[in-house]
Amino acid sequence: MSELELRQTTVDAEAAHDREWARRGRPRAGTVIAGAFVVLLLAATAFPAFVATQDPNAISAADAFQPPSTAHWFGTDESGRDIYSRIVAGTGTSLLIGVTATVIGLALGLLLGVLASFGGRVVDFGVGRLVEVLFAFPGLLLALLVIVVAGPGPVTATIAVGLSTAPGYARIIRGQLVSIRSSQYVEAARVLGRPPRRILIAHLLPNALLPLVVLGTLGIGQAIVWAAALSYLGLGAQPPAAEWGAMLSAGRTYLQTAWWMTVFPGLAIVGTTIATTVLGRALARRERGAR
């Protein structure tokens, strides 16, 4: 069995498993845990003052480099600031960067996908070559090139991550629109003399909405990781901002003596990425099973 056939078999098995659990009214345990984690992230974003235990920016030289304890759940940093409270305060920033970058990537990908699928052979060829050129650069390297031109900062990093993810979205969206365009109801609309713009708005985009939501859910985790990587390199959010990547960068100097300064922000990034990916895969399997 080839790798492609093995992947398809795995997806079909997962979809059948999800349909069985849906009939029983029970979602997967991993999906429930991921959903609960995302709810905690949203609570930390909406009500950081209630979730945090201390002021995330309060400096106390006497409490510097305190290990995890009941007073400081995740320990303190070199300035005596509570790391748990800073992670809570940085949740909104990291999620905002991830969601905004994903929206930018999806919007550009949707624009390129629509142009490629409806602009004729010449436009499709041009968009395809442009996407291939962009694919020649690794995503993070493309983001670095954007930052070199526009300058560092959280806004620039968000835009850079969004631009770097757009080629992948464009290719997937184009394939989705081409597949929908060949369906019977679209052919019937063409026979009835509906203009292409109306077909696009009334038929293609609504049917591509759910796959776009699935793509966006899967892409948020990737965008958060890339934005954190840029902050870690000093090209995104700058210290003393309570942003997970910036906290990782600040803690790397003290990794041997104060491991908690790096481990807990890293776990926040990993946990968020895993949770959003699990939810995205669950949506993808449900979407495939509904076909």
What pLDDT does residue 88 have?
A: 93
What pLDDT does residue 68 have?
A: 93
- Distance between CA atoms of residues 233 and 236, nearest Å: 8
> In which residue are the tokens 């708005």 written?
201
What are the extents of the domains in the chain?
47-264
Q: What is the pLDDT of residues 216-247, one digit of tens each?
A: 887 888 888 888 888 888 888 777 778 888 88
Q: What is the pLDDT of residues 130-181, one digit of tens each?
A: 888 877 777 777 788 888 888 788 888 888 888 888 888 888 888 777 777 7
What pLDDT does residue 291 have?
A: 54
What are the residue ranges in the chain where pLDDT is below 70? 1-27, 185-187, 189-192, 196-197, 199-205, 287-291
Question: In b/e form, how buried is each residue of 31-68, taking b as 16+ CB within 10 angstroms?
Answer: beebeebbeebeebbeebeebbebebeeeeeebeebeb
CA-based torsion, 104, 107, 110, 116: positive or negative: negative
What pLDDT does residue 15 have?
A: 54
| Tokens representing residue 137 in the block | 């650069």
- Which residues are paired to 76 by β-bridges? 82
CATH code matching the domain that covers 47-264, chosen among 3.30.420.10, 1.10.3720.10, 3.40.50.10320, 3.40.50.720: 1.10.3720.10
| Tokens representing residue 198 in the block | 């109306």
Length of the chain: 291
